[in-house]
A and B are shown apart, each in its own frame.
Chain A
Amino acid sequence: MTKSKERKVRPYINPYVGGVLLGLVLLAANFVSGRGLGASGAIKSTVVTAVTAVAPSASENTAFVKEFRESHEGNPMKTWLVFEMMGVLVGGFLSGAIAGRLKFKVEHSPKITSRRRLIFALAGGILFGFGSQLGRGCTSGSALSGMAVLSLGGFITMMAIFGTAFAMAYLFRKNWI
């Protein structure tokens, strides 16, 4: 009876080891494709595909879709970042399965409700999604991958992301600690 309760959760790996491994993955991405990692680009592909399917004539005239089509030939879902992000889902799942961390849950500070956590998650996601388009990439594509190739913009975006989150941390402390 106690067996299910003894479900062992493995500890996380050493962060410096994790960092070296992540760096090697990023290096592999550059070596193979000539570009770094990314995440928000895959979401952009999906959004372009969805709006084109729902409103083909209206969407073809929007500058956002036009600009995307000019830089990506063919099917917007057949892009490097879409395949990479499908891999992320598989890789994250495998890691969670091995470590015993697969579980449906809403993670939040005991001081707040699940509902509050989800509202903030949605709001944060909307802001991050918008910001990632304006900033031409998110923490992966702009900040991390940009830094690896010494992009000035990558360093600036990285400092803006972490600096702002740090500056606003006090306002949202109840959500986390």
Chain B
Amino acid sequence: MGPLAINEIISENTNLFLAFIIGIGFGFVLEQSGFSSSRKLAGVFYGYDTVVLKVFFTAAITAMLGLLFFSLFGWIDLNLVYVNPTYLTSAIVGGIIMGAGFIMGGYCPGTSFCGASIGKIDALVFIGGLFIGVFIFGIGYDLWDGMYLANFLGAPKVSESLGLTDGIFAFLLIIIALAMFWVAEWAEKKFPREEY
């Protein structure tokens, strides 16, 4: 059955319309969770507000389990679902640069749009920076295409790389997430902060 667009159950235009609807859900949930506030987002790195950690890992696990169960029920063909390819060097270096941008700017791209939608000027300026950053990457592409394409590993699953089945890996990730949630709850009590 799924993915609907790839199996041509829905047309390309329907797919784009649903993208818009899914985007509304995405933006709504981000804002309701507090992701429109940079100080709330940055809180995870100081322990005073760990909403990012809780929402992020709960979401990843929910979607991961959803996909595994959908596959089990025959509702989705996981072979047709895009698995992000792994270019080891750029995954690490890109992640490091993004991490620096995160702690300096207080947003990531998705959350900055969410913040801008409720009037945060700092989010709007962050978005301006995003455009400049993408543009710089584009014009200087020849300078870093070596790094961009280095150490291509295909599109391996983390479970395969660790020699585990998808189910066992998901189970271990849930245990790890629960341990992190426990630390997060402790940190929020230890480093309390009034409303901001």
On A, residues with C-beta under 8 Å from B are 12-13, 15-16, 18-40, 43-44, 46-48, 51, 62-65, 78, 80-81, 83-96, 99, 101-109, 117-118, 120-169, 171-173, 175-177
Per the bound structure, the CA–CA distance linking A136 and B97 in Å amounts to: 12
Instruction: Decide if B94 touches A148 in the complex (CB within 8 Å).
Output: no
The 10 closest A-B pairs by CB, nearest first: A124-B105, A125-B129, A87-B23, A129-B133, A135-B94, A160-B95, A19-B58, A23-B62, A164-B99, A91-B27
Instruction: Decide if B98 touches A151 in the complex (CB within 8 Å).
Output: no
Q: A24-B63, A30-B76, A87-B27 are in contact. List 12 more A-B contacts (CB 8 A).
A: A19-B58, A30-B67, A32-B19, A36-B82, A39-B110, A91-B23, A101-B31, A107-B122, A129-B137, A135-B93, A149-B78, A161-B96
Instruction: Decide if A62 touches B139 in the complex (CB within 8 Å).
Output: yes
> Given A13-B32, A83-B20, is A129 in contact with B62 using a C-beta cutoff of 8 Å?
no
Nearest to A16 among chain B residues (CB) is B58
Instruction: Decide if A153 touches B134 in the complex (CB within 8 Å).
Output: no
Per the bound structure, the CA–CA distance linking A156 and B161 in Å amounts to: 12
Per the bound structure, the CA–CA distance linking A13 and B62 in Å amounts to: 17
On B, residues with C-beta under 8 Å from A are 2-6, 10, 15-34, 36-39, 42-43, 45-46, 48, 50-51, 54-64, 66-67, 70, 75-76, 78, 80-88, 90-123, 125-139, 141-142, 144-145, 147-148, 153, 155-161, 166, 169, 181, 193, 196
Q: What are 24 inter-chain pairs, A to B, with CB distance below 8 A?
A: A16-B54, A18-B54, A19-B33, A22-B30, A23-B60, A51-B138, A64-B139, A80-B19, A81-B19, A92-B118, A93-B118, A104-B119, A124-B100, A124-B105, A130-B134, A142-B84, A144-B59, A150-B83, A151-B83, A152-B158, A161-B102, A163-B95, A165-B99, A166-B45
